[in-house]
Amino acid sequence: MENLHQHLSLALKQLRQANGWSLTLAAGRTGVSKAMLGQIERGESSPTVATLWKIATGFNVPFSFFVQGGAEPAGGVATFSQPNAQMQVKPLLPYDAQLRFDLLEVTLAPGAQSDSSAHESGVIEQVVVLEGELLLNIEGTWRRVQSGEASQFAADKPHSYRNPLSIPLRFHSLIHYLQRP
């Protein structure tokens, strides 16, 4: 996990510099405070999954950009776990730049909720519940997605994932990004 956070720190700093953005401009584009971005770059703070999504959206990069390239455990892919361990995200495939999608496995702890800011315009997300039950909030409406069921929604609006059960929730998230001109 330490190597993953070091990768995250370096990736954020390199991405910001490659775009020619100051911390102030990056904060404005991502909605994450300048202080928090600086702490992440210096390796002093570990962001939540929601914060990492905001950063990825602000820079117009896939979520997996910050996870892939970090040191992977033997025989597996690195899993990003937020500091309170309420949510874990693991890319199942490398980001496909031609097809423009991320395939992620998400685990939510019992009773946990994760609120996601809107992704870039036109992003579509599909979720497939593997174990447990997902309450999915899109534009203020909660819908229940049970084990073995799937749901598709426009992820360019704020949305939330909630685990209402006392067992972990595990689901796949397939995120489709629009082709940029």
Specify the CATH number for the domain of residue 48. 1.10.260.40
> pLDDT class for 73, splitting at 50, 70, 90?
very low
pLDDT of 71 higher than 90: no
Q: Are residues 38 and 126 in the same domain?
A: no
Helix (H) or strand (E) holding 116: strand 113-116
Q: Are residues 114 and 165 in the same domain?
A: yes
Q: Are residues 87 and 165 in the same domain?
A: yes
pLDDT of 72 higher than 80: no
> How are the residues of the chain apportioned to helix, strand and coil, as percentages rounded to the nearest 5?
25, 30, 40
- Residue 177 token pair: 């990004």
Q: Are residues 36 and 87 in the same domain?
A: no
Instruction: Note the pLDDT of residue 75.
Output: 41
Q: Are residues 85 and 172 in the same domain?
A: yes
What is the tens place of the pLDDT at every residue in 140-168?
999 999 999 999 999 999 999 999 999 99
Q: Rounded to an integer, what is the distance from CA 141 to the centroid of its chain? A: 21
Q: 74-93 burial by CB neighbour count: b if 16+ within 10 A, else e?
A: eeebbbbbbeeebbbbbbee
> pLDDT class for 80, splitting at 50, 70, 90?
low
Domain extent, residue 16, equals: 2-66
**Which DSSP string do the residues of 62-109 spell out, in sequence order?**
-GGGGTTTSPPPTTS---EE-TTSSEEEEESS--BTTTTEEEEEEEE-
> pLDDT class for 33, splitting at 50, 70, 90?
very high
- Residue 174 token pair: 């397939």
- Residue 104 token pair: 């992620």
What is the tens place of the pLDDT at every residue in 2-19?
566 787 888 899 999 999
**Mean pLDDT of all residues belonging to the chain:** 86
Helix (H) or strand (E) holding 173: strand 169-176
The percent of residues in the chain predicted with pLDDT above 70, rounded, is 87
Q: Are residues 90 and 166 in the same domain?
A: yes
What lies within 8 Å, CB to CB, of 131 at 6+ separation is 147, 167, 168, 169, 170
Q: Are residues 116 and 171 in the same domain?
A: yes
